[in-house]
Chains A and B, each alone.
Chain A
Amino acid sequence: MERMAYRLTAPHPAGGTRRQAIVGVVASGNLEVLVERALPPDVCSVEVATSVRGFGPVWEAVVADFVARRAAGGLRIAINDSGARPDTVTLRLAQAVRLICAEEP
């Protein structure tokens, strides 16, 4: 396993009120993303645990783009990855943010 952690300044604070959300499954080529509203609204942290080594620069780029584009401020994000490709990672991150930005039912 390779572990990485990023803490970035987030230009867009997350909306909504839900405290947490989870999407995805840890299966080959897939990942799970757990999002918790646990940080100041201008910060986003991402922890990654991945079974595929050597993709650090790709993760860094994906995470940076995600934080720049999506409303990720205030979110603590934890990822368990089983070799997902960047497009899948981007999609899951967006799905997780959409879910947590929904109002608590």
Chain B
Amino acid sequence: MTAAGRIPAERLSWYEATARQRLGALVDPGTFVEIIGPEERETSPHLGIFDLPAQFDDGMIVGRAAIGGRAILIAAQEGRFMGGAFGEVHGAKLTGLLRAARMSRRDVVVLFDTGGVRLQEANAGELAIAEIIRALVGARSVGAQVIGLIGGRAGCYGGGGVIAGCCSTLIASEHGRIGVSGPDVIETNMGVEEFDARDRALIWRTMGGKHRYLIGGADLFVDDRPAAFREATLAALGRGGSLGLDTLVAEQARLERRLARFSDETDAIEVWAALGIGNAEAIPELATREFLLAAAGHRESADEAR
């Protein structure tokens, strides 16, 4: 059970695709085996309280698959159902998958598309995120890779952004946004002067895939196509390594350096200029190839410090 339409894969946009379409186009054909699929109707027990419709998979698809012949575990969030937010069932599926990865040391690919905690079941969602982080770090500590793919409509916000920050590799497209506080939340709490949530250009240059790639918040920058995400995932799976204290000591140094370098900048364009990129204002307009050329030699890289 994969893609819905007859859209040829090369015309499929990752940003637009559903979670099932992305997953189907990412893994080796016919290898995906879903665990607790929609036919089991394990839906949220809480949405009914708010008179909201359930989705049969609760917006989270998990299972086993292969990429390039390599067995992996995989999870995909549906960003259009409840904004891809973490609820009790949704989160527990990913928790279970990551706990298994720790036992089997199998690599995990997570297709993020989330606004964070599902507020209608906020306590369950917040806890699910905490459990996922613990399971994820556990899996990485024994050498499993956890690769995050970010390029969906909902971005990767709130607790989802923190989970992404725990992954071994992050792959993002231009559309991919990564953050903790979403623009609406900042505007509501701090006022429109702090963040104008209607200024989409501001949102993307502050939180979007290009900025994250330039400051080392994402490792690979790809086109908005499943084939590009697949290629990058294959590359990332080969990297190996486990998460330990030395990784985190290196990350501490990396994050301190970022703070020291860019602490005084107020806008992404200033950050890019400080990186030494000429014509930083043009960065948002660049197509993938030109952008990668402009970034090369200037961007901060996370490498092993993640």
A81 to B81, CA, bound (A): 11
> Besides the contacts A32-B56, A95-B5, what 7 more A-B pairs have beta carbons closer than 8 Å?
A24-B18, A25-B80, A26-B54, A51-B53, A80-B54, A82-B53, A95-B4
Is the pair A49, B54 in contact by a Cβ cutoff of 8 Å?
Answer: yes
Is the pair B81, A22 in contact by a Cβ cutoff of 8 Å?
Answer: no
A78 contact set on B, CB distance < 8 A: 41, 56
**Are A80 and B53 also in contact (CB < 8 A) when A21-B1, A24-B4, A95-B5 are?**
yes
CB distance from B13 to the nearest CB of A (A): 15
The tally of residues in A whose CB lies under 8 Å from a CB in B reads 24
CB distance from B61 to the nearest CB of A (A): 10
- Asked if B278 CB lies within 8 Å of chain A CBs, one says no
Q: Which residues in A have some Cβ–Cβ distance to B below 8 Å?
A: 1, 18, 20-27, 30, 32, 34, 36, 49-51, 78, 80-82, 95, 99, 105
Is the pair B81, A27 in contact by a Cβ cutoff of 8 Å?
Answer: yes
A-B residue pair count with CB separations less than 8 angstroms: 57
Which chain B residue has the least Cβ–Cβ distance from A49? Answer: B53
The tally of residues in B whose CB lies under 8 Å from a CB in A reads 22
Which chain B residue has the least Cβ–Cβ distance from A99? Answer: B4
A105 contact set on B, CB distance < 8 A: 29-30
**Are A26 and B55 also in contact (CB < 8 A) when A1-B48, A105-B29, A105-B30 are?**
yes
A20 to B40, CA, bound (A): 12
